[in-house]
């Protein structure tokens, strides 16, 4: 059932190997007080920092910096960024980095003028901002999260061991523009590249594996998955293949900008499991997802059997003739497993630093989602986490 919904995604995307120059078209639309937000320094090594600074200076910007945004941005870091942006009377926030930097920058953008505590307001009560939002632009250097074209922002609270994502409803929280240069992703280590690829794939799965009826969103999802599987195999063998990296980058954006969730209830339980593992191990996001995915999908398969058969047929080209639905569905998940191993993804949480004695605590940090094929109870979460060890 496609149902009733709204769709609005006004982010302007500049895609390609010459895309940074469009920063010159965008900056004049905002005030001069710019806060540049970036991670732990790779943009200084690969020259992107210098290129961006040159453009900011040429446009007469007054620049403050928030540096050292970590892979799982913390609440403490958020408080620090809010202070810097306030003191600078920020007109505009420019994120240069991957999904964590973009997520973090959006979290700052809704918090600078917020009188409440942002953790309480946005991550416990899941409220929308009622203050002025500072506009955000992104220069993307890593691929996977889709943060460049959505209103999501994940923040980790180390004190409470909670890694929580809030997808805001207001499209004004989406970046005003994002610059997507596939060249910037070519220098990424293989581990990060494949973690990003799996993050993309799982974003699509979380939306695809939900709902009783098949609709246009499922068909678009299958197209995106097929594109990603093809491009990932090329990039895995030759990470310098610009064309494959371009298609991966573009697929990532469309996997999580709300399009393929229209008319779907959407699941997100793999992300809840993965984020709980991440909060306890600080492991790379995409790898936490790959490590828990197959135990999860094999467990819920009987509850969404028809969709898993469709997945086998339409995504993995499994010939289903003469096979039971269970056999066909299983073959689809086996094909997915083979592809994951081919890419060199982490297939268990032990490798990420989780151990049997942490399982109960990880389970306590796992939020239970209610719109997938099976609502998990605590025992089921523990069982899936144990099978992920």
Choice from 17, 120, 132, 170 touching its own copies (CB under 8 A): 17
Adjacency order of strands within the sheet including 62-66 = 62-66, 33-38, 92-97, 136-140, 177-180
Least distance from its own copies to the Cβ atom of residue 134, Å: 19
User: For residues 2 and 256, what is the distance between their CA atoms, to the nearest angstrom?
Assistant: 18
Q: According to the binding rule CB under 8 A, does residue 231 interact with its own copies?
A: yes
Nearer to its own copies, 154 or 235 (CB): 235
72 touches its own copies (CB under 8 A): no
Interface residue with its own copies among 8, 45, 60, 115 (CB under 8 A) is 8
Other CB atoms within 10 Å distance of the CB of residue 204: 24
Tokens of 161: 């061991």
Q: Residue for token digits 């099978």?
A: 387
Q: Does 238 bind its own copies (CB under 8 A)?
A: no
Q: Which is nearer to its own copies, 223 or 344 (CB)?
A: 223
Shortest Å, Cβ 211 to its own copies? 12
213 binds its own copies per the rule CB under 8 A: yes
Distance of closest approach, residue 9 Cβ to its own copies, in angstroms: 7
Distances (CA, A) of 6 to 169, 224, 259: 10, 22, 10
Contact (CB, 8 A) for 276 and 292? no
CB closer to its own copies out of 136 and 276: 136
- 321 touches its own copies (CB under 8 A): no
Q: Does 366 bind its own copies (CB under 8 A)?
A: no
CA within 13 Å, CB half, 97: 27
Least distance from C-beta 26 to its own copies, angstroms?
11
Residue 265, SS3 per DSSP: coil
Chosen residue from 109, 185, 202, 221 binding its own copies by CB under 8 A: 221
Residue number with CB closer to its own copies (119 or 250): 250
Neighbours of 3 (CB within 10 A): 11
Number of C-beta neighbours around residue 240 at 10 A: 9
Segment near its own copies (CB under 8 A); pick from 16-24, 154-162, 186-194, 304-312:
16-24
How many residues of this chain bind its own copies (CB under 8 A)? 46
Expressed in angstroms, the distance from the first to the final Cα of the chain is 37
Residue among 123 and 168 whose Cβ is closer to its own copies:
168
Alpha carbon of 148 to those of 94, 204, 255, 354: distances in Å? 12, 16, 11, 30
Among 40, 172, 215, 348, the residue binding its own copies under the rule CB under 8 A is 215
Residue labelled with tokens 């293989």: 190
CB nearer its own copies, residue 219 or residue 303: 219
Contact pick of 119, 184, 201, 250 for its own copies (by CB under 8 A): 250
Per-residue b or e along 12-28, where b marks 16 or more CB atoms closer than 10 Å to that residue's CB: ebbbeeebbebbeebbe
Examine residue 16 and tell whether it contacts its own copies (CB under 8 A): yes
Using CB under 8 A, pick the residue from 185, 232, 251, 288 that binds its own copies: 251
Separation of alpha carbons 318 and 323, rounded Å: 10
Residues 91 and 102: their CA atoms lie apart, in Å, by 17
The footprint of its own copies (CB under 8 A) covers 1-19, 22, 171, 182, 213-216, 218-224, 226-227, 230-231, 243, 246-247, 250-251, 254, 259, 262-263
């Amino acid at each position: 059932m496609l149902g009733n919904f709204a769709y609005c995604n006004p982010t302007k995307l500049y895609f390609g190997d010459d895309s940074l120059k469009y920063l010159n078209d965008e900056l004049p639309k905002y005030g001069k007080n710019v806060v540049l937000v970036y991670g732990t320094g790779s943009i200084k090594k690969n020259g992107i920092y210098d290129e961006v600074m040159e453009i900011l200076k040429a446009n007469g910007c007054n620049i403050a910096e928030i540096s050292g945004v970590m892979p799982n941005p913390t609440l403490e870091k958020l408080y620090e960024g809010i202070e810097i942006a306030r003191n600078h009377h920020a007109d505009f926030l420019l994120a240069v980095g991957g999904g964590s930097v973009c997520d973090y920058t959006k979290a700052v953008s809704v918090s600078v003028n917020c009188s409440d505590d942002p953790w309480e307001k946005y991550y416990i009560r899941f409220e929308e901002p009622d203050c002025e939002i500072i506009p955000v632009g992104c220069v993307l250097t890593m691929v996977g999260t889709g943060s460049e074209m959505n209103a999501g922002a994940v923040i980790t609270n180390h004190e409470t061991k909670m890694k929580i994502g809030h997808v805001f409803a207001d499209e004004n929280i989406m970046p005003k523009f994002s610059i997507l240069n596939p060249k910037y992703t070519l220098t990424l280590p293989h581990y990060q590249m494949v973690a990003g690829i799996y993050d993309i794939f799982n974003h699509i799965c979380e939306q695809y594996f939900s709902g009783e009826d098949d609709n246009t969103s499922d068909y678009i999802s299958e197209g995106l998955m097929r594109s990603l599987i093809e491009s990932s195999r090329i990039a895995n063998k030759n990470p310098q293949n610009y064309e494959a990296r371009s298609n991966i980058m573009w697929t990532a954006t469309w996997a999580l900008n709300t399009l393929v969730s229209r008319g779907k209830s959407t699941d997100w339980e793999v992300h809840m499991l993965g984020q709980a593992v991440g909060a306890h191990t600080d492991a790379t996001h995409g790898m936490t997802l790959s490590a828990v995915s197959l135990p999860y999908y094999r467990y819920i398969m009987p509850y969404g059997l028809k969709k898993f058969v469709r997945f086998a047929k339409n995504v993995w080209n499994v010939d289903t003739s003469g096979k039971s639905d269970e056999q066909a569905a299983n073959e689809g998940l086996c094909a997915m497993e083979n592809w994951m191993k081919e890419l060199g993804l982490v297939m268990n949480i032990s490798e990420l630093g989780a151990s049997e004695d942490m399982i109960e605590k990880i389970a306590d940090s796992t939020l239970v989602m209610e719109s997938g094929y099976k609502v998990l109870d605590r025992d089921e979460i523990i069982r899936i986490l144990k099978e992920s060890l």
